[in-house]
Structure 1
Amino acid sequence: MLEVLTNPNGFFHNKINDEVEMKTPLMIMAVLALVGVISSVLIIQKTMEMLPPEAAKFAPVGIVAGIIGAIIGTLLTWIIYSGLFYLISMFFNGEGDFKRLLEFTSYGFIPSIVSGLISAYYTNQLFDNLDFSNPELMQELIKSDPSMKIVSIIGIVFLLWSANIWIFAIAYSRNISVKNATIVVGLPILLYVLYVASQFF
């Protein structure tokens, strides 16, 4: 499976001849969801430590909500990305089953596992230095903190790595050219990168 990170063209060229299987994709998304859960729990715990004691009793509820949100968010992201790729590829006469596209799209989230862990580390470090008594100041500190800019840059780099994987995933699963697959993947990725850049830069 590591071949998909270094040679996605060869990986999907061979994979397209196999039957659709969802066990591996579900494992990839489960690990990504776990990373999201870890990040959410860390943030909630840090937040609760800064709140008055009477508010701390709601910590278990917040943690459960964070866990559920991370899992649902991960699954929705997978489905939304796959749905966007499917719809945009229709303009290039894409052919192929959505389940196959869903399978192949999951492999592009592998780099997100690493970037998610890095993001969780830096976010945890940032929350150690925040003053929760002033929400407006806290928001400004988050935006101006260098670590958040580092997280954003790292996130973009890993997203581009994912995009490289998705290009070949779409090309093979939807039976379109690599050039057209680049456009299919590039449009939503470009919009997301511009959004992130506008928030922090």
Structure 2
Amino acid sequence: MPSISALLTDPDGFFDRQGSDPSLKGPLVVILAVAAVDTVAAVLQSRFMSQLFEGAGAAGGFLAAIQAVTYLFVVAGPFVVWLLYAGLFHAVSVVFDGDGAFSTTAAFVGWGFVPSVLGSVASAAINYYRFNVRGIDVPAEFTQESMRQFNRALQTGPLVALSAALGIVFTLWSAFLWTFALKHARELTVRQAALTVAVPVLVAVLISLRTLLVAVEVL
């Protein structure tokens, strides 16, 4: 499998060496790693979720169903996001007369999720400390006021802000890698590739930025 260090230190050369018919094995391993870390994080957070639903009086069967659906989304989510980004980048690059197969775009974009593996690890560690070590009090009674305070506790605070800020950093890091990925996958200039990547990434950054502003109670 190609060297991850080469990808991170010389992305231009890394994607140039992949050729026009790259293997999907490496990118699949990257996405599987993201899904694996996210799954572990979901399992670690399941104790808190159990307390939340039990406090709300949910039946055991309902809780099991919710957890099953959650795990399904956690496992499938990284693959959906991968294909979504690849599809958007491939479509936007048409504006610049991009030339290259979608399979190449998908493979190269998959490599760009390497920072997301680190981001998922950081997010899992933050959430584990937040929910399982420091803890968040689940309301004894779910009144309108208690739910308002509970939602505020979930959405604000330095750990939420840290997680959102790191999300922005790792997304921008991926965007840097994707710029060179699209350059070689779709035969674009660096400027054209950067513009291709910019719009979808900007949407993701704005979502994280809103979470950050809510966390520090600016919004």
TM-score surpassing 0.5?
yes
Q: 5+ residue gaps in structure 1?
A: none
SS of alignment partner, residue 91 of structure 1: helix
CA contact under 8 A between 1:49 and 1:56: conserved in structure 2? Answer: no
Report the Cα distance in structure 2 between the residues aligned to 1:95 and 1:135, rounded to whole angstroms.
Answer: 52
CA contact under 8 A between 1:20 and 1:103: conserved in structure 2? Answer: yes
Report the Cα distance in structure 1 between the residues aligned to 2:59 and 2:129, rounded to whole angstroms.
Answer: 21
- The aligned residue for residue 117 of structure 1 is 121
Of 19, 28, 31, 2:30 maps to 28
Q: Which amino acid aligns with 1:131?
A: D
Report the Cα distance in structure 1 between the residues aligned to 2:105 and 2:78, rounded to whole angstroms.
Answer: 17
Q: Which amino acid aligns with 1:29?
A: I
Report the Cα distance in structure 2 between the residues aligned to 1:49 and 1:199, rounded to whole angstroms.
Answer: 24
- The aligned residue for residue 136 of structure 2 is 130
CA contact under 8 A between 2:168 and 2:209: conserved in structure 1? Answer: no
Count of equivalent residues: 200
Q: 5+ residue gaps in structure 2?
A: 140-145, 214-219
Runs of 4+ in 1 over 6 A off after TM superposition: none
Of 135, 152, 172, 1:160 maps to 172
2:19 maps to 1:13:
no
Report the Cα distance in structure 1 between the residues aligned to 2:14 and 2:165, rounded to whole angstroms.
Answer: 27
Q: TM-score by structure 1 length?
A: 0.91
Report the Cα distance in structure 1 between the residues aligned to 2:43 and 2:77, rounded to whole angstroms.
Answer: 14
Task: Using the TM superposition, give the Cα deviation of residue 144 of structure 1 relative to its aligned residue in structure 2, in angstroms.
Answer: 1.8
Identical residues among aligned pairs (%): 28
Task: Using the TM superposition, give the Cα deviation of residue 60 of structure 1 relative to its aligned residue in structure 2, in angstroms.
Answer: 4.2
Report the Cα distance in structure 2 between the residues aligned to 1:116 and 1:175, rounded to whole angstroms.
Answer: 31
Q: Which amino acid aligns with 2:136?
A: L
- The aligned residue for residue 41 of structure 1 is 43
- The aligned residue for residue 72 of structure 2 is 68
Report the Cα distance in structure 2 between the residues aligned to 1:51 and 1:101, rounded to whole angstroms.
Answer: 42
- The aligned residue for residue 60 of structure 2 is 57
Q: Which amino acid aligns with 1:32?
A: V
SS of alignment partner, residue 136 of structure 2: coil
CA contact under 8 A between 2:164 and 2:211: conserved in structure 1? Answer: no
Q: TM-score by structure 2 length?
A: 0.84
Task: Using the TM superposition, give the Cα deviation of residue 38 of structure 1 relative to its aligned residue in structure 2, in angstroms.
Answer: 1.3
Report the Cα distance in structure 2 between the residues aligned to 1:30 and 1:167, rounded to whole angstroms.
Answer: 22
